[in-house]
Amino acid sequence: KAGVTQTPRYLIKTRGQQVTLSCSPISGHRSVSWYQQTPGQGLQFLFEYFSETQRNKGNFPGRFSGRQFSNSRSEMNVSTLELGDSALYLCASTSMGLNTEAFFGQGTRLTVV
């Protein structure tokens, strides 16, 4: 069974640019969550999508947005990049059945210069 796939693995962007990251969840999983991981703040929740609807959102500015498609694949977008957006962005998928554990992808390492 394939795991959570995130693309690309690495990105280097310039301040002010925008970026789109992609996440394909485990087959059959309908919930996708996004997290930002930095050395100082650890893992912080960005947002969660279920059946193409955003169900929950963390405390991040509006420059961070996302969407989910009918096949459960998800994208997140960051506009007007800032140096502080440099982080490992992680996607997690959950089956939403009896087992509530989230399975993470390898992440996308974003560096803003």
Partner 1 sequence: EDQVTQSPEALRLQEGESSSLNCSYTVSGLRGLFWYRQDPGKGPEFLFTLYSAGEEKEKERLKATLTKKESFLHITAPKPEDSATYLCAVQGGRSQGNLIFGKGTKLSVKP
Residues that bind partner 1 (CB under 8 A): 4, 6, 31, 33, 35, 42-45, 48, 50, 55-56, 58, 88, 90, 92, 94, 96, 99-107, 109
Collapsed DSSP state (helix, strand, coil) of residue 11: strand
We find the least distance from the C-beta atom of residue 16 to partner 1, in angstroms, to be 27
Closer by beta carbon to partner 1, 79 or else 103: 103
d(CA 88, CA 67) in angstroms, rounded, equals 19
Q: Which of 111, 42, 46 is nearest to 83 (CA)?
A: 111
Task: Enumerate the β-bridge partners of residue 89.
Answer: 36, 108
Closest to partner 1 by CB, 16 vs 28, is: 28
